[in-house]
Amino acid sequence: MSELINSSLRQLSAALAAKKVSAVELATLFLDRIDKFNPALNAFITLDRDKTLAQAQAADEKLRVGAGDTAISPLTGIPLGHKDIFCTKGWRTSCGSQMLANFVSPYDANVVEKLAGAGMVTLGKLNMDEFAMGSSNETSYFGPVKNPWDVSRVPGGSSGGSAAAIAARLTPAATGTDTGGSIRQPAALCGLTGLKPTYGVVSRYGMIAFASSLDQGGPMAKSAEDCALLLNAMAGFDPRDSTSLERPAEDYGRDLEKPLAGLKIGLPKEFFGAGMDDDVRAAVDAALAEYRKLGATTVEVQLPNSGLSVPAYYVIAPAEASSNLSRFDGVRYGYRAPEYDDLTEMYSRSRAQGFGAEVKRRILIGTYVLSHGYYDAYYLQAQKIRRLIAADFVEAFKECDVIMGPTSPSVAFAFGAKSADPVQMYLSDIYTISTNLAGLPGMSLPCGFGANNMPVGLQIIGNWFGEAKMLNVAHQYQKATDWHTRMPEGVK
């Protein structure tokens, strides 16, 4: 049975359908691995074995009585973990913060509801950078997540718990969110496949907001095929999210098997300049060579404003965050300072004590850029840059079907290596941020190993609503390579 930890979701689904394994057995398999490996990794921060097993039993019941029924989905009985940014009814939902360390959500996020509706079993809640602000998982109130490939290194962030848990085979799949690279960068640093959909494809209802105009939930798993199955269940219009898009349902896996002959891959010269480590460059170049073997051609494209993406992002995201996080005031739920003399003090102490340093830094930046007299110079300028960046992509996609490049400029770095220098940390997302600013879909998939035998991620950027195309491009590569099947030694 232990070979199931490396199985694809489709294989798990087949095993469940054939009664080779029950949902309870499958959940138990992963819960036992969590017991064994999680203390060293700190990926899961909330577990509830009874709840998990009850869900698994319900899934088994569905599988037993409803075979051939529409109540059964290809995901019924398959366990997964939720990033702790998703509100999960009856489970603590902390967003990695002391501010919400006592918050048990009374409702399910749309994504949680949909995956539960598809019959998936919740293993627990996954660690993350506090309020998704970070690229290394070092800002979590619950302590950093360790990278299963080398526990002295970061797993990436902010969906670091999700990435580490999948890499360590503590769960076959997980949810993540991506505001500036928070699905793709940890996927790259942990050797996984992760997908950030086009803005509006996945409902943000119940996903604790960081930067509303950039946040997007998405799947993280071992392969593109798994991500397609998960995205099928996660995506869709939600009337409770005004930015959710009303589009016909689609099967994101419909093009997985399409051959790549004739595929045009755009390579932005801005993504291949200085700043990328040599080991990353070598792995990405090798992946591109593989694509050419599969029949694709590469063409240089230009994204002339991409250099402005990090500064624009660090105006827009903190601006929205400063306002989104105002609701955490100690009045109705969450952390309240134990002592205060008046209202102002209750606010200032609750927020000073309840938020960590990085969150406070971003609230300060955001408050500043929205202030009277600075709004035009910062926020409005950044919004203009955002439109320029989107326009660059429109031009680029006239010449190619997908865009490729590195996901992260380096492999996973050591704890503390960048945490003293916020700007260095922010540059970890230099290749991923522009897709969020443009609302485009992006993926990361493993394409080899770099220095110290750490995974390297290849980024694919699709055109708006080009998820099926991206998944096709990723899947064909994964059929030709086995990087995505590799597993860290320490968790075997």
Partner 1 sequence: MSRTTQWEVVIGLETHAQLQTKSKIFSGSSIAFGAEPNVQASAVDIALPGVLPVLNREAVVCAIKFGLAVGAKITPRSVFARKNYFYPDLPKGYQISQFEIPVVLGGGLAIRVGAGETATEKFVNLTRAHLEEDAGKSLHEDFHGRTGIDLNRAGTPLLEIVTEPEMRSSAEAVAYAKALHALVQWIGICDGNMQEGSFRCDANVSVRRPGEPLGTRREIKNLNSFRFMQQAIDFEVQWQINEIEEGRAIQQATVLFDPDTGETRSMRTKEDAHDYRYFPDPDLLPLEIRADWIAEVKSGLPELPQAMKARFETDYGLSSYDAETLTTTRAASKFFEDTVAATGKDSAKLCANWVTGELAAHLNKTDMPIEASPVSAAQIAGIIRRIADNTISNKIARDVFEALWAGDGTDADAVIEANGWKQITDTDAIEALVDEVLAANQKSVEEYRAGKEKAFNALVGQAMKATRGKANPQQVTDLLKKKLGG
Residue ranges that bind partner 1, judged by CB under 8 A: 86-87, 93, 95, 100, 103, 105-107, 109, 204-209, 211-213, 239-243, 319-320, 322-323, 325-329, 331-333, 343, 347, 367, 370-372, 375, 379
**Contact present, 302 and 388 (Cβ < 8 Å):** no
Those residues whose C-beta lies under 8 Å from the C-beta of residue 242, and which sit 6 or more positions away, are: none
CB atoms within 10 A of CB 320: 22
Kindly tell me which of 239 and 307 has the beta carbon lying closer to partner 1: 239
Q: Which amino acid is at 287?
A: A
Which lies closer to partner 1 via its Cβ, residue 243 or residue 298?
243
Return all residues near 92 (Cβ < 8 A) that are at least 6 apart: 46, 84, 101, 102, 103, 104, 105, 125
Q: 343 or 394: whose CB is closer to partner 1?
A: 343
Backbone angles phi, psi at 42, to 5 degrees: 60, 35
Q: 484 — alpha (psi -120 to 50), left (phi > 0) or beta?
A: alpha
> Would you say 86 and 175 are in contact if contact means Cβ atoms under 8 Å apart?
yes
Supply the DSSP string of 102-151, one letter for each residue: T-B-SS--HHHHHHHHTT-EEEEEE--SGGG--SSS-S-TT-PPPBTTBT
**Is the Cβ of residue 332 or residue 492 nearer to partner 1 in the bound state?**
332
Smallest distance from partner 1 to CB 183, Å: 18
Provide, rounded to whole angstroms, the least separation between the CB of residue 205 and partner 1: 5
Tell me the backbone φ, ψ of residue 346, rounded to 5 degrees.
Answer: -60, -45
**Tokens encoding 341:** 């003399």
Asked if 186 contacts 167 with a C-beta cutoff of 8 angstroms, the reply is: no
Question: Are the beta carbons of 464 and 402 closer than 8 angstroms?
Answer: no
Give me the least distance between CB of 68 and partner 1, in Å please.
Answer: 36
How far is the first Cα of the chain from the last one, in angstroms, to the nearest whole number? 14
Closest separation between CB of residue 362 and partner 1, Å? 15
Read out DSSP for 358-423? HHHHHHHHHHHHHSTTTTIIIIIHHHHHHHHHHHHHHHHTTS-SEEEEESSSSSPPBTTTTTT-HH
Residue with tokens 């993280």: 220
- 489 by DSSP, 3-state: which? helix
- Tell me the closest approach of the beta carbon of residue 344 to partner 1, in angstroms: 9
Catalytically active residues are 83, 158, 182
The answer to whether residues 32 and 2 touch, using CB atoms and an 8 Å cutoff, is: no
Nearer to partner 1, 28 or 323 (CB): 323
Residue closer to partner 1, measured from CB, 76 or 127: 127
428/176 Cα distance (integer angstroms): 18
Q: In terms of CB distance, is 146 or 204 closer to partner 1?
A: 204
Q: Give me the least distance between CB of 107 and partner 1, in Å please.
A: 6
- Three-state DSSP class for residue 335: coil
Using the structure block, give the residue that is written with the tokens 């995506």. Answer: 235
Cβ–Cβ under 8 Å, residues 433 and 180: yes
Q: How far is the CB of 212 from partner 1 (least distance, A)?
A: 4
* CB of 104 vs partner 1, minimal distance in Å: 11
Q: Which is nearer to partner 1, 109 or 230 (CB)?
A: 109
| Residue 435, CB-side half-sphere exposure with 13 Å CA sphere | 39
C-alpha atoms less than 13 angstroms from C-alpha of 486 in its C-beta half-sphere:
19
Cβ nearer to partner 1, comparing 183 with 443: 183
3-state helix, strand, coil in the chain (%, to 5): 45, 15, 40
Nearest approach, Cβ of residue 211 and partner 1 (Å) = 8
